[in-house]
Amino acid sequence: MCIRLSTLLSRFVAMARPAAFFDLDRTLIDCNSGMEWAKHEFKQGNISTYQLAKASLWMGLYHLSLIDIEKAYRQAVTHYAGEPVEAVDRRTREWFHDDISHRLRDEARGALKDHRDQNHPLVILTNSTCFEASIAAETWNFDDWLANRFPADDDGMLTGTFETPLCYGEGKVEYATNWARDHDVDMDASYFYSDSLSDLPMLERVGHPRIVDPDPRLRREARNRDWPILDW
Ligand SMILES: [Mg+2]
């Protein structure tokens, strides 16, 4: 009986564990890394001026949460069909270390330390690629990452498609909820840091939404709901 009680108690304690989820673009870092990647690809001669202009337009619409995200992703990933996963991973790694890793905001670093001190698992929850998210998690000492994934064929070549749902909007809630279930994390006790109105479903899902330098519409929502707004 004693054993059963202690098992139940430890389960209860484990279930009550919160996690801290962090959006990446314009939250952990002060820019949209998708745009930085597009600029990098242009400089390397991997995309055309037209493709760079199109990427700029998408990023602008993305920032305003006015984009058809699946359509934008479909067009972007088609470009990578037939590329070896290993090559994209290597290029992303080089780019991340040169252009992105130093852009982790000081305030984000402080928040990560606070959560780490409280033994909260740290998870990147982003609409960026699995290539970038995995490198970011490794570089900044996160426990895990959740991001968009891209199937490859048996020879390790990208098929030019993506897994659904995308890790965006309601999709982020699905990814995070599944992860929380598998790691005995309580979503109601958890934190989510984000800048974007597109993240409203996930901000509503956690017990502790944290709004970071929000876009105007999210600022309005946050004020109406008395959510903390952080000036990073
Ligand atoms: Mg963001």
Q: Which amino acid is at 181?
A: R
Measured in Å, residue 71 CA sits from the centre of ligand 1 at 19
Domain encompassing residue 173: 15-230
Going from the Cα of 182 to the center of ligand 1, the distance in angstroms, rounded, reads: 25
Q: Mean pLDDT, to the nearest integer, of 65-93?
A: 88
**Within a domain: 199:** yes
Look at residue 195 and tell me if it is in a domain: yes
How buried is residue 76: exposed, middle or buried, by Cβ count under 10 Å (0-12/13-18/19+)?
A: buried
Q: Is residue 9 included in any domain, yes or no? A: no
Distance 47 CA to ligand 1 centre (A): 24
Residue 3 lies in a domain: no
With 70 as the cut, is the pLDDT of residue 14 above it?
no
Output the CA 209–ligand 1 centroid distance in Å: 14
Distance 146 CA to ligand 1 centre (A): 14
pLDDT given at position 2: 45
Of the chain, the percentage scoring pLDDT greater than 70 comes to 91
Report the separation in Å between the CA atom of 3 and the middle of ligand 1, taken as the mean of its atom positions. Answer: 46
Distance (angstroms) between ligand 1 centre and the Cα of 139 equals 19
Do 143 and 121 touch, CB atoms closer than 8 A? yes
Q: Pick 65 or 155 by higher pLDDT.
A: 155
> How many whole angstroms from its chain centre is CA 112?
15
pLDDT value of position 4:
56
Q: How far is the CA of 14 from the centre of ligand 1 (A)?
A: 30
The answer on pLDDT for 8 being more than 60 is no
| Cα 73 to ligand 1 centroid, rounded to whole Å | 16
Dist. CA 155 → ligand 1 center (Å) = 34
Write down the pLDDT at residue 1: 45
Side chain identity at residue 38, one-letter code: A
The two three-digit tokens of residue 137, written as one number: 């998690």
In angstroms, what is the span from residue 24 Cα to ligand 1's centroid?
6
Instruction: Tell whether 6 is covered by a domain.
Output: no
Number of structural domains in the chain: 1
How many angstroms is it from 171 CA to the middle of ligand 1? 14
Q: Is residue 7 part of a domain?
A: no
From the number of C-beta atoms within 10 Å of its C-beta (0-12, 13-18, 19+), residue 2 rates as: exposed
Please tell me the pTM assigned to this model.
0.89
pLDDT of residue 162: 95
Over residues 192-207, mean pLDDT: 97
- Does 212 fall in a domain? yes
- Cα 65 to ligand 1 centroid, rounded to whole Å: 10
- Ligand 1 centroid to 123 CA: how many Å? 14
Determine the 3-state secondary structure of 154 from DSSP: coil
Phi and psi, residue 163, nearest 5°: -80, 150
Lowest mean pLDDT among 49-53, 177-181, 197-201: 49-53
pLDDT band, residue 84 (cuts 50/70/90):
very high
Residue pLDDT, tens place only, 156-174: 999 999 999 999 999 999 9
CATH number, domain of 136, equals: 3.40.50.1000
Which residue in 158, 163, 198, 160 sits closest to 178, CA to CA? 163
196 CA from centroid of ligand 1 (Å): 5
Query: What is the whole-number distance in angstroms between the Cα of residue 172 and the centre of ligand 1?
Result: 12
Residue 138 lies inside a defined structural domain of this protein: yes
* pLDDT band of 77, cuts 50, 70, 90: confident
- Is the pLDDT assigned to residue 221 strictly greater than 50? yes
Distance CA 119, CA 17 (A): 9
